[in-house]
Structure 1
């Protein structure tokens, strides 16, 4: 059994799967997510970053100055987990935490100038790597993949 097919064989996914379609889809999506996270973690490892940290930075940058709770909700993660990620990114000077002027108990997150410069140096290579990972899919297939995934995500958000 080749390493390439071992996970699929163990989980019963892939061509010839006898699983009920929604269970096969779940296991396939989970396997894909784990493999993509591992591949991106491998790219980021030399800089001491993880995919989770990069995802948090993306959310913070998109939201402006979210609270810790807002960032955790956007990531679908716990407050405690995101607080640990924030602490690591503050130490790396990629995020900063400041008190909310309207409510001093609430902490707001924002990206630093160092963060912006860091990603400007990386983005082109990371985007090319991601394009390569999805390189066997046509533009139409990628569109369908995203549309179908968006529908499942929306269903989970409504649950």
Structure 2
């Protein structure tokens, strides 16, 4: 029996549509689970960064990255997944073109950050932690 391809799926700043498209597979999800071995998918299963760090470099067949990289945590995880994966795919409108989170580009940066991290009634951020000013991600080729 051949080994199933190993798949990782990481969720950055996104609208949730990619996860919804996956769930919309309904009973066909069972065929997906028969065909691949999901080794990392924190939105659906209890996996931690340490789990990915323990994997050998290049051992993941494909990593799907959905959502925009807007936090240092996102950048670090995407770089780690690049090292661990043979193929990395920007999956969905948010990771490929900015999507709904990209609409923040239409407004003043400070206004958006204050609204998101300090003013929204459902946000609990007593230390008033804010994102860093700029995140640049240079993902090297696999090799």
TM-score class, shorter-chain normalisation, is under 0.3
**Structure-1-length-normalised TM-score:** 0.26
Q: Over alpha carbons, which structure has the higher Rg?
A: 1
Relative contact order (C-alpha < 8 Å, sep 6+): which is higher? 2
Structure (1/2) with the larger helix percentage: 1
Structure (1/2) with the larger strand percentage: 2
**Structure-2-length-normalised TM-score:** 0.28
